[in-house]
Amino acid sequence: MSPVQAGALMQQISAAMPPALAPSPVLSVDDVSEPPLPPVMTQNATSAPAAEAPKTSANGQPKFTASVFLSSLVMIIAALMMF
């Protein structure tokens, strides 16, 4: 195998490349519009829910409890089954 000459591959690459794309238009402030933010929801402590609602954290997101013990137990059992 002979070594590649400097610049020899550049001639082949330039013939295979697609033409350059036109530049993107410049955006101004008027071209960009932001949608309005959703309204703020207030939590009513006096009204009782009809059904049991899932527990939520202080930021309003539902809580998800992961059991480290159970996942560790499954990994130990899987490791023992490999022997």
> Which pTM was predicted?
0.24
Quick check: helix, strand or coil at residue 62?
A: strand
Of 43, 46, 44, 63, which Cα lies nearest the Cα of 54? Answer: 63
- pLDDT exceeds cutoff 70 at 54: no
Q: How many CB atoms lie within 10 A of CB 51?
A: 4
State how far the Cα of 69 lies from the Cα of 65, in Å rounded to an integer.
Answer: 12
Cβ contacts of 56 within 8 Å, gap of 6 or more: 62, 63
Which of 5-19, 29-43, 55-69 shows the highest mean pLDDT?
29-43
The mean pLDDT value for 39-68 works out to 64
Token readout for 17 is 């490349």
